[in-house]
A = this chain, B = another copy of it.
Amino acid sequence: MDESQQHQPRRLHFRKHFFQPFQRRTRVGAVPGKIRSSKTATPTHVERIYFDAESLRESESVDVRSLADVSTGTQWINVVGLADHRMIEMIGERFGIHPLLLEDIVHTHQRPKVDTIQDRLVVILRMTDQQIPLHLEQVSLVLCGNTLISFQEHPGDSFEPVRRRIRQSLGRVRHNPADYLLYCLVDALLDAFFPLLEEYGRTLEKLEDDVTDSPGPIEQVQIRDAKRELTYLRKIAYGHRETIQRLIKESDSRFSEDTRLFFRDCSDHAAHILEVTESFREVVTDLRDLYFTSLSQRTNDVMRLLTLISTIFIPMSFVAGVYGMNFDSSRSEWNMPETRWQWGYPMALAMMGSMACGMLWVFYRRGWLRR
């Protein structure tokens, strides 16, 4: 990242998200329980990893018709891109996923949630997108027996660390059933939020400096956009925490004791993310106040300085005006005798000068000349 980029506050991507959550879930009047993939969706592509404590089989591109649950070991099917709704329906049929759940998986504006229909547990979360910051794509994780199926909108995900651990057989993942894999994926997904938040923190620090130095319309827009982004992020973070807590509460019988312990740890992380997001929102509220103060401070400074200048000159002009009067000094000794004195003019100038100095001194003493 070069210097110029660092000094330019991160572009704000929020607007389109904010004003377009109104994408209807389906066409108005569509038959419920019937999925219909969006035209802008990425083409569907299926990956598969099968592993147990000893063996590991990875397939890059799998034919959906060959898929079935496994009796031993753990199978992770990763569906990337949601364009091909027929392929997804076929997966749904093969693994007994209810059409309404499939609908939630494909229509990617769901809030984070956990749902169980006919023994199929679905967890829907939002994943940070590595390319587009703050685009949070929907990830759906379905647990069916020994198989875990994950659906994501675009290629590229936060699951690389888990794949590495599976391949290199690090930690417990190869020795545990599919519910532990579910935990690993959820945990990796949450973990990927931390770099995003760190970057966001730096952006806010930068914005704070900008607002203090030169508050302007650009900063106002950035503050507003940051507020909206954080409102959105907070909603997601809140949803994640709730979802994981419900997952722990409702899945007592499905998860092993050990996996439940790990999910409790996971819940702490989700709470941590939520907490950081909320502290950011407070920072933004403060920034807003700071912006208004800085702005009115600047206007006040300008007005005060200008008024000071006027105030200094007005009495001096008055003196000049007095000696500009046309009283006829030939008629009376008392009419403007100063104008006939030897040192009248220098005296008048000196008087004006000392008035200016006096006022400047008073203003200085009262601290009005300082910015």
A residues near B (Cβ < 8 Å) are: 18-22, 24-25, 28-34, 98, 100, 103-104, 109-111, 113, 115, 117, 160-162, 164-165, 170-172, 183-184, 187-188, 191-192, 194-195, 197-198, 201, 204-205, 214, 220, 224, 227-228, 231, 235, 261-262, 264-265, 268-269, 271-272, 275-276, 279, 282-283, 286, 290, 292-293, 295-297, 299-300, 302-304, 306-311, 313-318, 320-329, 331-332, 334-336, 338-346, 348-349, 352, 366-368
CA distance A161 to B322 in the complex (A): 81
**Majority-rule SS of A interface residues:** helix
Residue of A325, A334, A367 contacting most chain B CB atoms (<10 Å): A325
Judge whether A328 and B331 touch: CB under 8 Å.
no
Contacts of A328 in B (CB 8 A): 329, 339-340, 344
CB distance from A319 to the nearest CB of B (A): 8
A198 contacts B326, CB within 8 Å? no
Q: How far is the CB of A56 from chain B (nearest CB, A)?
A: 17
- The residue that A325 contacts in the complex, of B113, B188, B304, B323, with Cβ under 8 A, is B323
Closest to A348 in B: B325
CA distance A200 to B366 in the complex (A): 31
Q: Is B343 a contact partner of A334 (Cβ separation < 8 A)? A: yes
Question: Which residues does chain B contribute within 8 Å of A295, judged by CB atoms?
Answer: 293, 297
Bound complex: CA A4 to CA B231 (Å): 34
B332 touches A349 (CB 8 A): no
Is A164 a contact partner of B307 (Cβ separation < 8 A)? no
Quick check: B28 and A194 within 8 Å, CB to CB?
yes
- Whether B22 and A197, one on each chain, are in contact in the complex, defined by CB atoms closer than 8 angstroms, is yes
B310/A332 in contact, CB under 8 A: no
Q: Known A323-B326, A331-B340; judge A307-B304 contact (CB<8 A).
A: no
User: Please, how many angstroms separate the alpha-carbon atoms of A25 and B299 in the complex?
Assistant: 45
Name the B residues within 8 Å of A183 (CB-CB): 32
Q: How far is the CB of A45 from chain B (nearest CB, A)?
A: 23
Residues of B near A283 (CB, < 8 A) are 18
CA distance A160 to B29 in the complex (A): 8
Nearest-Cβ distance from residue A106 to partner chain B, whole angstroms:
13
* A309 contacts across to B, CB distance below 8 A: 311, 314-315
Contacts of A286 in B (CB 8 A): 224, 227
List, in ascending order, chain B residues with CB within 8 A of A188's CB: 29
Closest to A356 in B: B318
Contact yes or no, A262 B310, CB < 8 A: no
CA distance A306 to B282 in the complex (A): 38
Q: Which of B28, B117, B165, B304 contacts A31 (CB 8 A)?
A: B165
Smallest CB-CB separation from A212: which chain B residue? B217
Per the bound structure, the CA–CA distance linking A349 and B336 in Å amounts to 10
Min C-beta distance of A23 to chain B, whole Å: 8
Could you name 23 residue pairs across A and B whose Cβ atoms are closer than 8 Å? A19-B201, A22-B194, A24-B191, A32-B171, A32-B183, A32-B184, A32-B187, A32-B262, A111-B272, A111-B275, A292-B293, A304-B306, A313-B314, A320-B321, A320-B322, A320-B324, A322-B352, A323-B327, A325-B326, A325-B348, A328-B329, A335-B341, A336-B345
Can you add 10 more A-B contacts, CB < 8 Å, to A309-B311, A334-B346?
A21-B276, A24-B198, A29-B160, A292-B293, A313-B314, A317-B318, A324-B324, A326-B326, A332-B343, A335-B345
Cα distance A166–B171 in the bound complex, in angstroms:
43
Q: Which residues of B contact A346 (CB under 8 A)?
A: 334
